[in-house]
Amino acid sequence: MADKLRAQQQLEALQARYVGTGHPDTTKFEWTSNIQRDSYASYVGHPPLLSYMAVGMGECREKVRAKFIESMIQPVGKPPEVQE
Amino acid sequence: MSDSDFDTIRKLQADRNAASAGKKGSKTFDPSSQRTDASTKASLTENFDTALYGRDGGDKFAGYNTSIAVAEDDDAEMEGVDNTRRLVNTYTASTSQINEFSRGAGVEEEDILLGREKSARIGDRETDYQKRRHDRVLTPTRADAFNQSNGAAEGGTYREIMAQRELEREEQRVKRLIEEKAANGEVVHHQPTLTQEGSGSPSDKENRENSAAESAPTGRKRKQRWDVGSESSTEVAASDSKVKRSRWDQTPAVGGAIVDETPRRRSRWDQAPAATPIGNQGLVTPMHPSQSGGPVMPTAFGTDVSGRNAPLSDEELDMMLPSEGYKILDPPPGYAPIRVFSAKMMQTPVQTASFTMQDPDSGRALGKQLPTEIPGVGDLQFFKTEDMAYFGKLTDGSDENAMSVEELKERKIMRLLLKVKNGTPPMRKTALRQLTDNARQFGAGPLFNQILPLLMEKTLEDQERHLLVKVIDRVLYKLDELVRPYVHKILVVIEPLLIDQDYYARVEGREIISNLSKAAGLAHMISTMRPDIDHVDEYVRNTTARAFAVVASALGIPAMLPFLRAVCRSKKSWMARHTGCKIIQQIPILMGCAVLPHLKGLVDCIGGNLNDEQTKVRTVTSLAIAALAEAANPYGIESFDEILNPLWTGARKQRGKGLAGFLKAVGYIIPLMDEEYANYYTSQIMEILLREFQSPDEEMKKVVLKVVSQCASTEGVTAGYLKEQVLDDFFKSFWVRRMAMDKRNYRQVVETTVDLGQKVGVGEIVERIVNNLKDESESYRKMTVETIEKVIASLGAADISERLEERLIDGILHSFQEQSVEDIIMLNGFGTVVNALGTRCKPYLPQIVSTILWRLNNKSATVRQQAADLISRIAMVMKQCGEDALMGKLGVVLYEYLGEEYPEVLGSILGALRSIVTVVGISQMQPPIKDLLPRLTPILRNRHEKVQENTIDLVGRIADRGPESVNAREWMRICFELLDMLKAHKKGIRRAANNTFGFIAKAIGPQDVLATLLNNLRVQERQSRVCTAVAIGIVAETCAPFTVLPALMNEYRVPELNVQNGVLKSLSFLFEYIGEMAKDYVYAVTPLLEDALIDRDQVHRQTAASVVKHVALGVVGLGCEDAMLHLLNLLYPNLFETSPHVIDRIIEAIDAIRMAVGPGLTMNYVWAGLFHPARKVRQPYWTLHNACYVGAADSMVPYYPNLEDEKMDRPELAIIV
C-alpha cells in the first residue's frame, strides 16, 4: 500500500517534469502524439537536420521550422471519441 | 629540556611495562610472542612449553632478588604500602577498582535520578506551567455556524461561549477581590446559614447519614465520627438487630459468620476494600488465601488478653456507666445488632501462614490481571491500568448481537484505537488505515469523543501521544469540514504540544493545528479561538496565541491581519491586546523571513501598543518587534520607520523588565539600518546600555550582552568608537569571576567578547584578558581560554605583539597545568594558540613538550589522554619549527606507552604517533617503523572503536608510504587482523581497513592477500562477506584485474551459495572500480555471468545483474556491444520479478546496457509490451520506457516504430537528398 502510494507519487513527479513519460494506462493516441511532438521538437532542435530536411522538401528553413512547430498541434489527428 | 627528562619518563614507563608483563591478562606487549597476553584463561600447554623449552632469551628469574635478604626488615619499609594491621587484608579490591570507585573510569553508571527525567511519561517531565494543561477541560461541542442543515442545535454558539467567558472573568474578579480583602485583614467569617438542629450540621455527611438511619431515639447529639464509633461498640452486645455502622467496624467478616450478615448500607469508607483484601462474600476484591476457611479467630486462644472473650453483662455495664441522669431504652423497632462478632476482635487481618517465598511468577500473575488479550483485538504489546478506564468496555463480554449500531460503532473505534495505541507495529498500521478509511462513516463525534480523552490522560507516554496525534492528523484529512464542532476540543489537547520541550512534539502540534485550520476554515477558527484570547488563565492565552500564529502561517498572514489589528487595538481588555501582540511575536518565530512581505502590516498592528498603559503589553510588544526584526534581518528597516521614535523614547523612559524588552527590540533593529543611522542610534542607545551594565538583573544582563554584540557587529559602528566608549566598561562589568559561574552568562559573555573582537582586533581583547589565565578560579580561566581560542581561531595571531605572546603562552601553559578536570576547551585553546602562532612558538616548544611529557607520566588516565591529544594538535607546528629531534624523542616515549590499559588513552596515544609519522615521514620516524609496526599488530585486535580507528589509520599510512620497512610475514599477519576490522560498526574503520588491504596487496603482491580474502568469503556474517568483497575489488584495482580475476572466477566453482554470491559481489565491486579497464575482461567473465543470470536463486540473479550493470557502464563506446546484447537477452526475462531489490537491480542493469548498446536496440525489446493486454506486463515495460525517455528522449526519435495505421506518419524521416 505505502509502496504503491510512493510509486504513484514518483510517477506523478516524473510526469510533471517529462510529459512524454507514460504509465500502464497510457492510450495509443497519447503515446503517438507524444512521439510525433518529440520528433518535431527533435527536428527543430537540431539545426543541421532541419536544414537537411528543408533542402529535401524544397522549402525555406524557417518555413519548415514553422510548419513543424504548427503540426505539433494535434499531430495525429483529433483525440478518439470517448466511449461511455 | 634535557634528554634526561625523556629518558626518565621513558624508563619509568618501561619499568611499569616490565612489572606488568608477568601478570596474567595484562595488555603489555610480550616481545617473545609479539602478542599482548589478551587472554585471561590459563594456558594448558604453557607450563610445559616454558618448563621444557623456556622462553627464548628471557631469564625466568629476572626481576627477582635471587639471594635471600640479609636484613629481615628490608621489605617492611616499602613506600606507599599500608602498614596498618587489617583483619581482612587478604581480601581487598584491586587498585584499579579502588581508583575507579574514587573517580570513576569515565563509564560511570547513569544517575538513577537522571533516568527519571528521561522517563517516557510525558507527565513526569512537565514543568508546573505545562501541567496546567490538566486544568483545562474539554469544552462542549461547538455549533458549526456554516453548516445550515443542523447548525445551532448541536452545540454552544459563539454568543453563548462569550457569555460564559464573561462569567468566568467576573468570577475571577470577585475571587481576587475577596483575596485582597483577606490579605488586608478584613476577613469575613463565614456564617452558617442553617442553624444546628437535630443531629449535627448539614455539612457533616457522615452524621447526616447516621441520624437519618437511627431516627434519633437517643436524643444524643453526635457531631463527631468518634461518637459514632463509641455508640456502635456498645451495640456489640446486642445481637440480631439492624444498625448503621461506623467505619470502624467495617472490617469485613469472614467465613460462615457472614452468611446471613445484616444487609448494610455502604458508607464511602467501603469503597476501598482493596487495602485489606479479605472476605470474599459480598465484597468486590477476592479474599486473601490465608484468611479463608472458617472465621478467623485470634491467633492463639487465651493469649490475647486485650480482646474480650464474652460480651459485657448488664451488671458490668451498670458498674461502668453512671446511673443518674440516664435511662435504659428499649431497642427501637427494626433494630438489629450485627452478628459478626469476630470482626470486632480482629484489629487487622492476621497472616496465619508463616513466611513464604514469593513465587517469581506471582508478580507476573498479578500483572496478568490486566489482560493483554482483549476480545477482538488480539495480543497487545502492553496494557496499562489506566487503559482499563477507557477500554474496559471491551472486556465485559457482552453480546455484540444485541447491540445497537451506535454501540457497535463505538466498540469498533475503541478496538481500533487500542490497536493503534498499544498494538504491535503491523497491527497499528492496519488499524490506522481502517480508522482513516472509515473516518467519515464513524463520524467526527464518536471518533473525537474517544480520542481526545485519551490524550488528556495524565500517564500518557510519548509514543502513545505520538500515535494518537497521528490518528487525529489522518482523520482530519478525511473528515474535513465535519471537524468544525470539535475544533475547540482538539485545540485544548493539541495546544499543550506547542510548548512541549520536545522539538518533534512541537512540530507535530503545529502540523495538526495547521491541518485543522485548513479543514475548518479561517472564520471558524477565529470564532472558536476568539473567546480564549482574553481568557482569565494566562496559560490558556499563551497557548492560544501560539496556536493562532500557526493558523496564520497555515492560512496566510494577509487573511489574519484584519483580525489581528482588531485584537491588538482592543479597548475592552488589555489581555486581548497582550495576546494579540503575542500572536504577532510568534508568527516570525514560526515563519522566519516569510514575514517580510507583510512586515509593514504586522508592525502597524502592534505599533500603537508601545505606549500602552499596561507594562505587560508594552513589554510583549517590544519583544514582538524584536522577533519581527530578527526574522527580517537584514531587510525591512522601512517597515519599522513608524515605530523607531516611540521605541527610542520608550527606551529612555522605561525601567526594569520593560526596558529589557525595549533594548532587545533596539538591538535587533540596529543591524537592519544603514551605516550612518546605525552609528547614530548605537551611540544613542549606548548610554542606556552602559548604565545597565551594572544592572544586577540576570535577564537584563543577557539582553545587554546581546545588544552589545549586535551593535558591535553592525557596519556603521567603528572599532575606534568601541575602544573608546565601550570596552573599558564592558570588561569592568562583565569580565568578573562571578560571570563564569553561571553557564548561560558564561556563554553570553564569551560570545559578546568574540563579537567585539571581530571589530577591535585580537590584540585588544587578548591584552585585556590574558592576565585572567592565571586567575585562581578555574571556570574563569576556562572562560578566558575559550574566548582567546575563538578570537584567535577567527582572526589569527598576527595582531599579537611579542610581549603579549609571551604572556599568552605562559598563561595558557599555566591554566593547562592547573586544570583539575581535564577539559576539551583547554585542549582546543592550547592547540589553536600554538597553531596560530606557528613558528613564533619555537622558543616555547621545549617548555611545552616538557609539560606534555610529565603529564604523559601522570597517574590519571584523562591527563595522559589529554597530553597525547595535545601532541597530535601541535605536531604540525613542531615540524614547522624544525624540532624533528624533539619529535623523535616524543615518538620513543609514546612507543613505550603503547601498553596503555585505558582504551581512550591508547587511542589518543596512537593518534599522537600517527600525527608524528605524518609530519616527519616514514624514513625519519623514531622509533623505526620496523619496531613500531609489530607492536601495532596486537593492538589491531582491540575492540574499542577509538583504538581501532587510530591503529588502522596508522597502519594504513605505513602500508601506503613505507611498506618495505616491514617484511611480508608481518604484513600477512596484519591482513588476518584486518579481517576482523571488516566487522566494525563504524564505517570509517571498515573503509580504512579495505584501503589498507589495497596497500598491503600492492606491497607484497596480491596472491597471499587474495587467498586470505577468498577464504573469508566463507564466513557467516553478511557484513564481513560484503566487506571482503569490497576488499577484493580494491586489491584488483591496485594490482591490476588479471592478477585477481582467475582466482576469483575459480572460486565461483565452489558449490556454496555464500561463496558464489561473494564472488559475484566482488566482481561487481571490481568492475565498478576498474571502469574502462573492463573491456579486456568482458568476454572472460561473460560465461560466468551467463550461468549466474540463469540461476534459480533470486539473489544470484540480482547480484549478477549488478555485475552486468557495472561492466556495461565500463564498456560504453568500447565495442563490446555483442556481449552486452547477449547479457541483455539473459537479463530480460527477469523483468517480471516482484521483489523490490531484485527488480531495481534488473532495471538498473538494463538501463546500463542501454547506455552501452544505445536506445535503438534496447527499445526494440520494449515496444512489444507497452500495450500488452495484461497490465502486469505493461507495468514494467512502461517503467523501462520512462527510464529511457528520461535518459535519452532525443535519441529515441529515429527508432520509434512505424505506426502508419495509427495515423502516425513521419515522412520527414524518409527525405533523402
Residue B1040 and residue B991 in contact, taking contact as beta carbons nearer than 8 Å: no
Return d(Cα B866, Cα B870) in angstroms, integer: 6
Residue-by-residue DSSP string for B355-408: --PPPHHHHHHHHHTS-SEETTTEE-S---HHHHHHHGGGGS---GGGS-HHHH
Question: Residues in chain A whose beta carbon is closer than 8 A to a beta carbon of chain B?
Answer: 1, 3, 14, 18, 20-24, 26, 28-29, 31-32, 35-36, 38-39, 42-43, 45, 52-53, 55-57, 68, 75-77
- The whole-number pLDDT of residue B368 equals 45
Backbone angles phi, psi at B799, to 5 degrees: -80, -5
Return d(Cα B978, Cα B941) in angstroms, integer: 8
Contacts of B586 (CB under 8 A, 6+ apart): B545, B546, B548, B549, B627
- The whole-number pLDDT of residue B67 equals 58
B1216 close to A (CB below 8 A) = yes
Return d(Cα A49, Cα A65) in angstroms, integer: 11
CB < 8 Å to A55, chain B: 1217
A3-17, A20-34, B244-258, B1120-1134: range with lowest mean pLDDT: B244-258
B1203 close to A (CB below 8 A) = yes
CB < 8 Å to A3, chain B: 1140
- Residue of chain B with shortest Cα separation from A58: B1217
C-alpha dist (Å) from residue B155 to B142, B478, B973: 4, 22, 82
B1168 close to A (CB below 8 A) = no
Taking a contact as any Cβ pair under 8 Å apart, which residues of chain B between 253 and 272 contact chain A?
Answer: none
How far does B821 lie from chain A, in Å, by closest CA?
Answer: 53
How far does A62 lie from chain B, in Å, by closest CA?
Answer: 15
Instruction: Among A33, A38, A59, A61, pick the best mutation site for testing chain B contact (most B Cβ within 10 A).
Output: A38
What is the DSSP secondary structure assignment for residue B461, as one 8-state letter?
Answer: B
- The whole-number pLDDT of residue B875 equals 94
Size of interface A-B (CB pairs under 8 A): 68
The β-bridge relationship of strands B35-36 and B373-374 is unpaired
Asked if B1212's CB is within 8 angstroms of A43's CB, the reply is: yes
> Would the pLDDT of A60 be above 90?
yes
Asked if B1182's CB is within 8 angstroms of A24's CB, the reply is: yes
Instruction: Among B1170, B1197, B1216, pick the best mutation site for testing chain A contact (most A Cβ within 10 A).
Output: B1197
What is the DSSP secondary structure assignment for residue B140, as one 8-state letter?
Answer: P
CB < 8 Å to B1170, chain A: 22, 26, 31
Which H/E stretch holds residue B1126? helix B1121-1131
B1179 close to A (CB below 8 A) = yes
Instruction: Among A36, A55, A64, A69, pick the best mutation site for testing chain B contact (most B Cβ within 10 A).
Output: A36
> Would the pLDDT of A71 be above 50?
yes
Percent helix, strand and coil across chain B, each to the nearest 5: 70, 0, 30
Return d(Cα B550, Cα B517) in angstroms, integer: 9
Residue B772 and residue B737 in contact, taking contact as beta carbons nearer than 8 Å: no
Nearest to B1186 among A14, A42, A75 (CB): A14
Contacts of B559 (CB under 8 A, 6+ apart): B522, B552
Asked if B1203's CB is within 8 angstroms of A24's CB, the reply is: no
- What is the value of pTM for the model shown? 0.63
- The whole-number pLDDT of residue B525 equals 94
Closest CA to B726 of B737, B716, B718: B718
CB-count exposure of residue B223 (10 Å: 0-12, 13-18, 19+): middle
Ranges of beta strands (E only) in B287-341 are: none
Please, what is the end-to-end C-alpha distance for chain A in angstroms?
Answer: 30
- The whole-number pLDDT of residue B254 equals 44
What is the DSSP secondary structure assignment for residue B156, as one 8-state letter?
Answer: B
Asked if B1212's CB is within 8 angstroms of A39's CB, the reply is: yes
Nearest to A22 among B1186, B1193, B1197 (CB): B1186
- Residue ranges in chain B whose pLDDT is less than 50: 25-26, 30-33, 35-39, 45-57, 69-83, 86-90, 104-117, 150-153, 195-243, 245-246, 249-264, 266-267, 270-300, 302, 340-353, 360-368
CB < 8 Å to A77, chain B: 1207
Nearest to B1200 among A23, A35, A76 (CB): A35
CB < 8 Å to A21, chain B: 1185-1186, 1189-1190
What is the DSSP secondary structure assignment for residue B118, as one 8-state letter?
Answer: T
Return d(Cα B457, Cα B387) in angstroms, integer: 9
Would you call B136 helix, strand, or coil by DSSP?
A: coil
Closest CA to B844 of B889, B814, B888: B814
Taking a contact as any Cβ pair under 8 Å apart, which residues of chain B between 1058 and 1087 contact chain A?
Answer: none
Asked if A21's CB is within 8 angstroms of B1186's CB, the reply is: yes
Asked if B1215's CB is within 8 angstroms of A32's CB, the reply is: no
Per the document, the length of chain A is: 84
- The whole-number pLDDT of residue B149 equals 54
Asked if A36's CB is within 8 angstroms of B1208's CB, the reply is: yes
Closest CA to B980 of B967, B989, B988: B989
Asked if A14's CB is within 8 angstroms of B1190's CB, the reply is: yes
Instruction: Among B1139, B1177, B1189, B1213, pick the best mutation site for testing chain A contact (most A Cβ within 10 A).
Output: B1189
Return d(Cα B1043, Cα B1030) in angstroms, integer: 16
How far does B1187 lie from chain A, in Å, by closest CA?
Answer: 8
Return d(Cα B546, Cα B552) in angstroms, integer: 10
What is the DSSP secondary structure assignment for residue B76, as one 8-state letter?
Answer: G
pLDDT digits (tens, 9 = 90+) for B767-793: 999 999 999 999 999 999 999 999 999
CB < 8 Å to B1213, chain A: 39
Return d(Cα B10, Cα B29) in angstroms, integer: 15
Asked if A32's CB is within 8 angstroms of B1208's CB, the reply is: yes
